[in-house]
Structure 1
């Protein structure tokens, strides 16, 4: 039977941690519906919780319960479930869980309790296979989408908020937009890394042109510091991983063009998986007529490979009239169905000079990823004083 689920509840005590992670991973490949995890006796820093967050699970109900009184205590969580359902699932709700865990053995804190008899061999949980089979049966009638085997789209690096920008073609303002967005975040006193992760067969690096100051206070051992931002030019994947582990609050990644078309088929670029993993993905284009075909091909290339997130399209080099013409090509109900949102970028040659209208646009785009106390402040007071 093909179930139409809006919310899936999973109890972490129903199977082993590894089985649950595998099951959620497979479920996420087919559906993006809400998942609520019931996690008794789990604490911030739990490895399993961190892994589930990386699979876009944003709801956890945790409570302390004694194993001997579990049946009685479980009756009291109905109010917790109702309260969780009334919350909007956002990363801010689970940020406290996403700490660097210290257990190198891969065991969660809840599983570290000493056994009453260390010599007893515990048999495999019979529910492990049942959970997998149940999730598979729910998904077996879902329409299949083609994916390139060498690219994994369902995993996401846990840590900094990752913002990726990809252009529908060259000269669509991806680098300029990445610098402007980085400048906006640094103006709010966040630590920001602006990174070029480019397929060099398609894109040329540009960040190096701003390397005019001596490097200062960088969290990684390369790159340069400019306008409150740490810039990293044309990095390798190994360097990118080092930057990701350096502890920045925000990573803004300029990926240039990542979808090309050849022989009537769309081809994803070398680092496209990072675009799929991003917490927020922005697509840059212009309002020019000749870029519209590239935009359609770009969107098709993402959908063909399983994209299910919102499409945030940042339109550069346009006036009000040309923006309206482009953004109204899609009808209102089509935008809602396809999760497409067009954002007009204002004319500004210097990417490090912030305008009020673009700051408002960035605030809207980043609303889920800015701490609540920051969102409540008057943001422009710092920008224009």
Structure 2
């Protein structure tokens, strides 16, 4: 479980005790916040893909927490939010407004309580419902009489889990490298991404061993540079696609994007490519390997040429009529060097932003 944490120093220490066996902190702010820094911290938190956001109300001195949480929910609608409200009582105006946002996990025990145990129990329990939080909700919202217009960014996101398929014209071209690079790029954008191995020559188990990867969000996955990867389970190999066998776990992990490393392109893998939301074929731009591209690719998929220059791509386009995108040399698939390239390639399946006027504090 990946946790984002905004809390006072004392509360943060207790929460981390509860997280020792429950999850990893991927974003953390410890200490008081003034009204000017609240939005900045919550914006930073929204850029990180986490399963749970834990917020200690003692960090905030004013009412700005409500609009900050509203903005966070817009950016991260699937992140569970747990609000710690020591010594607060029903009728509290701020908590009433928070419940009005659809946030129902409210912990309001006394300040001297065992918060480590309290948070641990909440994390191990299903998300709270409105029935459990109704006692906090008066139906009134902060500043309800003041209709303040504010321009915010709304993201139109693809529905469901987006599948990105990556295959190659031959072994050793860079299929696995490209799949990991795509997932790493998506993770840097703040999305929850996983890579599933379905290639003819599995290497993910070795990669996890070399990188000493920790266990991922769900059983059978490993976390590598902010993404979860699923190696082929050879012990349970029955001829099925690893992706098909992992569908339940993919849903459990609440991944926004799943990248499939399909290995060398053939008829079965071509069918899997057509079933993806977007698919790429990795090929060599070297002249002595042009035949692999001509023989294997029918123009239905975008082509990526690793270790190629723009001149290489233009040359193969001129002589063979094959268009593709150059991926410049970068030995580390988790680096940022080719982010601008992936931004263009993945544009059809990335959230599109539009500006819209909304009324904060008015529902």
Q: TM-score, normalised by structure 1?
A: 0.45
Q: TM-score, normalised by structure 2?
A: 0.48
Whose strand fraction is larger, Structure 1's or Structure 2's?
Answer: 2
